[in-house]
Amino acid sequence: MKLDEDRRRPEENTAAQGETPADDPAAQVQRQAQKAVQRETAPPQTRRRRSQAFQAYLIAAIAAFGVLAYFANTLPYFAIDLAITRQIQAYQPAWFDALMSWISWPGYAWQSVLITAIATLLLLALGLRREALMAAASSASAAVLNILIKLAIQRPRPSADLVNVVQNLKSYSFPSGHVMFYLAFFGFLWYVCFSLLKPSWGRAALLAYFGAMVLLVGVSRVYLGEHWASDVLGGYLLGGALLECAILVYIKIKGENTTG
């Protein structure tokens, strides 16, 4: 009788503590999954360092943007803006001209809305609901914030008497809406592909495409004469901060859904 009681005690203790018996297959799978997550999760000290680095970048980017916005509000352009534009526009082979136009094409108003809608629907069709939500939210946030800041700064765009202007746009110049959109949208898609997809040629192609769009859009905007280099820099600073916020929110939402 005492032996039977001893055999029952672990089960009784387990039941009293609200745990599932060890031979439960569901419990075994859950434990294995938790161990796998723990193996892939960075140590607390590493996570703290990464968080501090993110926060430091966010503060630095916003501070630098604030300084740049102040001067952009007082000057229509800087001397270095004019020098950079003329230097870039001095290189005019046909293939480069076509490339710069092609890079900028997705960033105009209607194209950006259409591309965002298509990408969002595609992500939803693939079952990536959180990714679809954040991609759309990031794109919309960049557009709204860009409009508000442009109305506040009211910096004129480059004029044809100073540089070659391919297309006269009616909106203000600072900061570059193209650059902000590309960072917030294409940058977020780059992060999704990098974090979710297994190494493959398709993943490499997507990373190369999204990365090239983000990197080259700044040169494209200056080459086409639709922005000054300082407008582009402002777009990269603010767009980078938006992208970082979108990634942090995405990670938090994804973590809460995984643990819940």
Average pLDDT for consecutive 10-residue bins of the chain (260 residues)?
A: 52 48 61 53 62 78 91 93 95 94 93 95 91 94 95 94 90 94 96 89 94 96 96 96 91 66
Domain range summary for the chain, segments of one domain joined by +: 48-74+98-259
| 53, two tokens | 């680095």
Determine the pLDDT at residue 251. 86
The three-state DSSP-derived secondary structure of 62-102 is HHHHHHHHHHHHHCCCCHHHHHHHHHHHCCCCHHHHHHHHH
Check: CB of residue 191 under 8 Å from CB of residue 253: no
The length of the chain is 260
